[in-house]
A = this chain, B = another copy of it.
């Protein structure tokens, strides 16, 4: 029987990783002159000092507590460009709309894209609109791609890194971490996935949890101004567990997380208990996780807490001295391995 694509192949995590490597990277090997090529599977790629990223948004429902497909499609790509250390410059909008969809809803969605982009200071400068017959897609999907540019702030950030340890990198890559670096998250985890789930039919629970959808580039810029940031990532599909496993694999060092430090709201914790889900596997859309040289960790944490998007920030882990896996020191004093999730347990969160 021919092998078929399943939802897990697009859900972040282990199975998606294998699919991308086996089916996609195998063909797309033409990466000469690309400073950060596709094969590095980082948040964006870099060519000629232009940071370039793309993300298709298929979220259901289109409107949810705390956001909608419009705000999500802008924030998702702004974040992917900015976690490389770049300043986002412009976005594209590729709309695919189902015939019969209402003008009123499209209007709301575009208005939301516009508001989010305006607040972010990143204009949507190019677009494409396709309409397909009823049933060929569900309502509306949006691809946004983004470009970003290098600014002197990033160079200064790395100069500060080099005051404390060797570092030959120019961008905030997944593979940059070294033993002793500390891991800081900007706020509570799991809000986006749980908000979506509660709003969908069939899950049978109520919550006041709202999506965290937001652009994190201005927060990140304020951290780069302090300096000492090594890596940054937005923990979307597959959640924090996916992010730290990517870092561990690519950096080739173990990572230890401190369970009691990881910020999770009461609402998310209750929903996860009810549904048997791990909040570390659930996607976020307005958080950033940074790896920082330990000498600058407290200063970075304090700066984060000053920003509205970082008020619940916490130092949640550190990079081990040795190769290895991601482990978590539990609240009761034990240790457990945090494997790369198979995928995000909540489908179509973005």
Whether the Cβ atoms of A54 and B128 lie closer than 8 Å is: yes
- Min Cβ gap A262→B in Å is 27
Whether the Cβ atoms of B137 and A4 lie closer than 8 Å is: no
Whether the Cβ atoms of B34 and A131 lie closer than 8 Å is: no
Partner of A53, one of B92, B131, B347: B92
Q: A331 in the interface, Cβ–Cβ < 8 Å?
A: no
Q: A324 in the interface, Cβ–Cβ < 8 Å?
A: no
Q: Report how many copies the assembly holds.
A: 2
- Min Cβ gap A109→B in Å is 9
* Bound Cα distance from A19 to B5, whole angstroms: 35
Whether the Cβ atoms of B16 and A129 lie closer than 8 Å is: yes
Which B residues are in CB contact (< 8 Å) with A16?
A: 129
- Min Cβ gap A136→B in Å is 4
The residues in A between 159 and 175 inclusive whose CB is less than 8 angstroms from any CB of B are none
* Bound Cα distance from A8 to B131, whole angstroms: 8
Which B residues are in CB contact (< 8 Å) with A8?
A: 131
Whether the Cβ atoms of A118 and B30 lie closer than 8 Å is: yes
* Bound Cα distance from A96 to B142, whole angstroms: 10
* Bound Cα distance from A26 to B138, whole angstroms: 25
Whether the Cβ atoms of A55 and B5 lie closer than 8 Å is: no
Whether the Cβ atoms of B53 and A126 lie closer than 8 Å is: yes
- Min Cβ gap A140→B in Å is 9
Of residues A93, A114, A127, which shows the largest number of chain B Cβ atoms within 10 Å of its Cβ? A127
Interface string of A64-83 (1 = CB under 8 A from B): 00000000000000000000
Q: A188 in the interface, Cβ–Cβ < 8 Å?
A: no
Partner of A138, one of B3, B30, B99, B137: B137
Interface string of A109-135 (1 = CB under 8 A from B): 011011001100001111111111101
Whether the Cβ atoms of A23 and B103 lie closer than 8 Å is: yes
Say yes or no: A28-B129 contact (C-beta < 8 A), given A4-B100, A96-B56, A143-B56: no
Whether the Cβ atoms of B114 and A5 lie closer than 8 Å is: no
Known: A4-B103, A28-B114, A137-B138. 9 other contacts (CB 8 A): A5-B100, A5-B101, A23-B107, A34-B125, A37-B123, A45-B126, A56-B96, A60-B136, A132-B348
Interface residues of A (CB under 8 A from B): 2-11, 16, 19-20, 23-24, 26-32, 34, 37-38, 44-45, 47-48, 50, 52-56, 58, 60, 89-90, 92-104, 106-107, 110-111, 113-114, 117-118, 123-133, 135-138, 141, 143, 145, 147, 149, 347-348, 350
15 A-B contacts (beta carbon < 8 Å): A2-B104, A5-B131, A6-B99, A6-B100, A38-B124, A47-B123, A54-B92, A54-B128, A56-B96, A56-B130, A94-B143, A128-B143, A132-B138, A133-B347, A136-B137
